[in-house]
Structure 1
Amino acid sequence: MLERQPREDRTEVTFVLAQETPPGPVSVVGDFNGWQPGTHTLSPRTDGTRAVTVILPSESEHSFRYLAAGDYWFDEPAADHHDGLNNRLHT
C-alpha cells in the first residue's frame, strides 16, 4: 500500500506492507535512492504493518521495487503503473 501526504514542495510517500509478508527485512529501492538496498528499510508500526516514508519532489515520477531477504524482488500492487520491470509512482 502507498500512503501519500502532499506538502508545499514535496510529497511524503509511505510504503506499507504486512508485518510478516514476506518474512524478514524488506527495503524499498528505486531511482530516488540510487537503487541502494537498505537505505529505506521498512520498520514495524503499532497497527501490525511495517513502513518507511520517503520524501520526494512534488510532481515527479519514480521507479521502485521492494527487496526482501534472499534477494527476493517483488512489486507493489497499488503502484500507479508498472513498466514491465519496475513499479512507477507519481507524486
Structure 2
Amino acid sequence: MALKKSYSKDKKTCNVTFSVSPEAAQGAKTVTIAGDFNSWSSTETPLKKGKDGSFSVKLSLEAGKEYQFRYLLDGSRWENDWAADKYIPAPFSSTDNSVVIC
C-alpha cells in the first residue's frame, strides 16, 4: 500500500494517489476507499484494478488538512493503509483508521 502526493501550483489542492498492492489485496476482486472525504461511503470511491493485481485511485483533496480513511476489500474486509502518515483510534470500533496528511 502506498500514498503518493502532489500539490497544485497554488498549494490549495493535494492530489493523493491511494494504492493497494497485489499482496495487500490478497486476491480481492474489488477495493473501495471510505473516509472523511466521501462521508465514509463504502461504495462511492472504487479503486481501479491494474494488470498486476494492484488497485489505485487518485483524489483531489483540500491541502492543509488531515483525512481519515480505510480500504474495503470485496465489500466485507476493512484494511488500513500500511504506509499511512499516521493512525488514530476509530470512534466506533476497536481498530485504528489510517490518516493522510495533505
Q: Report which of the two structures shows the higher radius of gyration computed on alpha carbons.
A: 2
Q: Percent identity?
A: 28
* Residues 1:3 and 2:4 aligned together: yes
Quote the RMSD (CA, aligned, Å). Answer: 1.5
Residues 21-36 of structure 1 aligned to structure 2 (within 5 Å): 21-22=25-26, 23-36=28-41
Question: What one-letter code is carried by the residue in structure 2 that aligns with 1:18?
Answer: S
* Residues 1:13 and 2:24 aligned together: no
Tell me, in whole angstroms, the C-alpha distance in 2 between the residues paired with 1:56 and 1:70: 24
C-alpha contact 1:4 1:11 (8 A) present in aligned 2: yes
Question: What one-letter code is carried by the residue in structure 2 that aligns with 1:41?
Answer: P
**Deviation >3 Å, runs of 4+:** none
Question: What one-letter code is carried by the residue in structure 2 that aligns with 1:6?
Answer: Y
Aligned residue-pair number: 90
- Normalising by structure 2, we get a TM-score of 0.80
Per-residue deviation at 1:70?
A: 4.5
Distance 1:65 1:39, change over 3 A: same
Corresponding residue to 1:65 among 40, 62, 70: 70
Q: Which runs of 5+ in 2 are unaligned?
A: 90-95
Which residue matches 2:92? none
C-alpha contact 1:27 1:68 (8 A) present in aligned 2: yes
Per-residue deviation at 1:2?
A: 0.6
- Normalising by structure 1, we get a TM-score of 0.88
Per-residue deviation at 1:19?
A: 4.0
Q: Which runs of 5+ in 1 are unaligned?
A: none
